[in-house]
Structure 1
């Protein structure tokens, strides 16, 4: 008979892959307000990591610390293999940052914004023009390159913003809520850009309030709440932490339905719809258990569907009043 036991979170064993970003015991306070309260992160190179959390959770503070914009109160922090405390200049050379608010200067053209960034990266005039042309083409901005950036749409400005970030060829990019305020089409275009970056070997540290965005893009997700990591794992692992998942069996034969209902006493019955709802974490193991039991009992269901909590459920459970802020479930 299928089990309804939730998956047990477990710690990593063995050696972890090389980290593009390694954070141990990161702490940051402003006066008597603790913003980050001892967070740990391990982000492998060439992956997308998403940091989720409600407003004020500390997401932007974490990005500012890891991109050397502000200093931490405590923590062992390495970015791109460099110690943040002792070699911040090497960290800056390895990273690119796109903040919540665009760094684009609307008074000059898109091309001039790019060339200005090339000068700041100390590229030669020839190299700067070459990199500018390549990135403008890559981000589909060549036709608009000679126009003032103030005339660009929100999506175009965001693409230009990321193109400017890439002028120095960073291997680690921090994107702080990169699609906030964009329309759905522009948001999907931005997702494509992020996927292309990762395909080329870039590591992306993404903060977002769009749960669909994290689900679509991230290899791993951490939920930050009250300055602590409430949970971390893949999207599927996080979804399995939340109760409410089930397998639904629907029958057209009343006799088969009654036989299944008598045998599966833990299932919730719907006599009118001839359906049974069995608690399940949605894992392959539990689904196989249901199918094997149906075969052994000689019962055939007309329809089997698996329902699992989504990231919305995870987010509200981990950041709502019903979840203690000190709880940490690490499902890596």
Structure 2
């Protein structure tokens, strides 16, 4: 069976309306090119430029979601595809929604006794300077402030001194109704891609990220050649296995499926790993970490795209007499 016959007409959804549109455009173009190179009948579709009616009219047999952030990674589009009966890559509605919410993700991980930095949730509109000073005293400085529903290091601020609290908080509050204040873990930054689902979920090699001055911001993440990536990360076998196992447990705890990337900090003082967040629709750009880890495992970018596409499914199985639009 040819790839075209196996997968039918495939939509690659990219772009979108989130703050991560630029990155999504790069991811989607890479995926589209890779699938076409494998002989798959793949078509690009930008939900910011075309309507949901157009999406239904395309009658895709399955879609590869290369959207990042809100309106694509947060469960909203997954719900639309469920209604249309179009199998899609990645996590279902609920897991996508949870994974896009850093606060809810941390609460679920904590309930599963999975290690994550201490945190507090602050009202973006009702938090006073005294509240910020109290949180800084409780969690310590440096302190991370984050917009819980953004990704790609958008709406994030590292506060190293009390005088920086106000500006850091204001930056994050521009993007969200609440701000996540999180204990800063000094150490090494790691990430672990996970493929599959449930008992079949497997971790790919660990990537260690070494950004200039430890500042893995938007520029260093997607455009700079100054950031170093070590894959597989230089860790002993026992610690590697432990971190990969934690990644799979974290992946399953939120109900993720298909693929995702789990981010960690490895504390310098004792080599204890701490879970930061999960990305249920990770980047697929030339600087992205999932393709990097797959390559270290002997899987090419093109083959990775095909494997992810092959996992496309519907979250809620229809009844026998249900017919898709």
Fold match by TM threshold 0.5: no
Which TM-score band applies after superposition, normalised by the shorter structure?
under 0.3
TM-score normalised by structure 2 residue count? 0.27
TM-score normalised by structure 1 residue count? 0.27
